[in-house]
Amino acid sequence: MEVRVMKGIMDANGEIAAQNREHFAERNISVVNVLASPGAGKTTLIMAICEHLRGKRKVYVVEGDISSSIDAEKLDKMGVSVIQINTGGGCHLDANMLREAISVLSPEEGSLILIENVGNLVCPAAFDLGDSFRLLVASVPEGNDKPYKYVSMFSYADAVVLSKMDLLPYIDFDMANFETGVHALAPAARNIPIYKLSCKTGEGMKSFLEWIEEA
């Protein structure tokens, strides 16, 4: 006999994500899920945000890594409240991992949580965490074709940072093609901002940091 099911396979993760989202909304906490390939500059960008908001707003960082605590140690040295999640080979963070991290951190009301997801342009897009928005970091050396290759990840993003802009003169990077790809994947009603910046030279950082202050 046929049994009709029609139930989402990701519903279990989705339910926990919804609970996380509710928990954050009740406490007026903003949660940014930072997504990128390995080496795009997630940690450097997160450090710049923490430095900028020092004394202005309480910031917590959730560090997702397959193994090692290299990034968490860098942030800890800066005096940032950070918690490390080692996924032990897992290619993404899921809503349950975030829930457990939050119960340890117990973030204060009105704070900002930055989640550094595992460096990967595929899997993290399949697992909603209950975040407020998704910030995708793409770097100039990765090339302009990334939106065309990692369609699900670029569809998942609410905002895009194009990092390492100081390397633009040395790399054949077709900016118009990159922008076209990013905008094609944003649903028509949503306007996706692209922040072009360099953490090294400071180029473009001002408008990005102003935007994150409003987050």
> Closest CB to other proteins among 148 and 211?
148
* CA angle centred on 211, ends 27 and 71, rounded to 5°: 75
Residues 73-132 that bind other proteins (CB under 8 A): 90-92, 94, 122-123, 125-127
Residue 107 or 181 having the CB closest to other proteins: 181
Tell which one of 10, 25, 78, 171 touches other proteins (CB under 8 A): 10
| Closer of 28 and 155 to other proteins (Cβ) | 155
Q: Max CA-CA distance within the chain?
A: 66
Residues that bind other proteins (rule: CB under 8 A) add up to a total of 32
User: What does the DSSP 8-state code read for residue 166?
Assistant: G
CB 136 within 8 A of CB 160: yes
183 binding other proteins? (CB under 8 A): yes
- Contact (CB, 8 A) for 33 and 135: yes
Name the minimum Å distance from CB 125 to other proteins: 7
d(CA 126, CA 137): 17
In a 3-state reduction of DSSP, which class is residue 144?
A: coil
Contact residues: other proteins, CB under 8 A = 1-10, 12, 90-92, 94, 122-123, 125-127, 148, 151-152, 155, 180-181, 183-188
